[in-house]
Homo-oligomer: A and B are copies of this chain.
Amino acid sequence: MNNRFLDACWGRPTDRTPVWLMRQAGRYLPEYMAVRSRCSFLELCKTPELAAEVTIQPVDILGVDAAILFSDILTPVEPMGLKLDFVPGPVFDNPVRTMADVEKLRIPDPESDVPYVLQAIRILRKELAGRVPLIGFGGAPFTLACYMVEGKGSKDWATIKRMMYAAPDTYHALMEKVTMMDMEYLNAQIKAGAQAIQIFDTWGGILSPTDYEKYALPYTTKLINGLNRTQTPIIHFVKGAATMLQTVQQAGADVMGLDWHVNLGTARDTLGPQTAVQGNLDPTVLYAPKGVIEQEVQRILDENAGRPGHIFNLGHGILPTVSPEHAIHMVECVHRLSQR
């Protein structure tokens, strides 16, 4: 049983620095593409055996210290009453714009509404058989609300910001409901066997520090407080949060995900020894020659300076055109260079 990842989440010393890669199951792997060629992205998310298969691929291929469930943050939003499609980015035909829209949203029951997610977790725990821990995940309430209000990805997220500023009652009612949904959903993942939970706040960083504190933090805090986390560490990754790490830390997660815009050593000094960190190699470094990848891995390990509670990862998802060989090399460098 490889417990490096969970030990690091809890701030315990490990023999080597554990490592996994955000989006490690994905398009850069020919083995993933082979599975994906037989079904749509949503079918893959909704077929437990296939989701489990692609979840395990990077464990075998890269030698990472954790598996992360293959799914999408928007999976549990669909049964709230929004029709989800990928073209290839996510699209909701009926975005949430008014208080009436918010009132129509229902809180799904994970066991009956997203059974495939929980089933995939159960299959994975059996198939992984303790080789590496399994991470479950969900979107942070703010990021989910971004997609629900805009109806799709956006450059400036003007629609949700307009709602936030001009119709705060609608905004807060929506956030309450999304937070409730998220809590049920992530607790169901924990009950099904997820051994850690990562909360992805991909868009929290579009807010100013003041607005993050007012409009996003209270809901993520409530979510984290509502999770059955005694045995299950919570990783909180807010992309673009480097200027407000202490604010984000108030949400109370065990591990803070870091993007590559902050020096990892500085971030650890800011956060203190009670919070573990995960990150933070620039994903584009995987395009570099192997020697440069090794230097950059060493630089980040040096910034951490041997402090317990560091999980090595990219600062954002692995890019689809990266060579798997370079990802394998990165994992190998982390393990070799961090050996105690």
Interface residues of A (CB under 8 A from B): 156-158, 161-162, 165-166, 205, 207-211, 240, 242-244, 260-263, 282-285, 287-289, 292, 299, 315, 319, 321
Contacts and interface: CB of A to CB of B under 8 A. Distances in A.
Contact of A208 (B156, B205, B244, B260): B260
Nearest to A281: B208
A300 to B, nearest CB: 10
Contact of A284 (B161, B260, B262): B161
A319 B157 CA distance: 11
Contact of A282 (B208, B243, B288, B321): B208
Task: Classify the secondary structure of A's interface with B.
Answer: helix
A156 to B, nearest CB: 6
A211 B260 CA distance: 10
A156 B262 contact: no
Contacts of A205: 261
A166 B287 contact: yes
B162 A263 contact: no
Contact of A292 (B158, B165, B282, B284): B165
A162 B282 CA distance: 12
Nearest to A319: B156
Contacts of A289: 165-166
B287 A161 contact: yes
A208 B210 CA distance: 24
Contact of A262 (B209, B287, B321): B209
Contacts of A284: 156-158, 161-162, 165
CB-based closest 4 A-B pairs: A165-B288, A161-B284, A162-B287, A242-B243
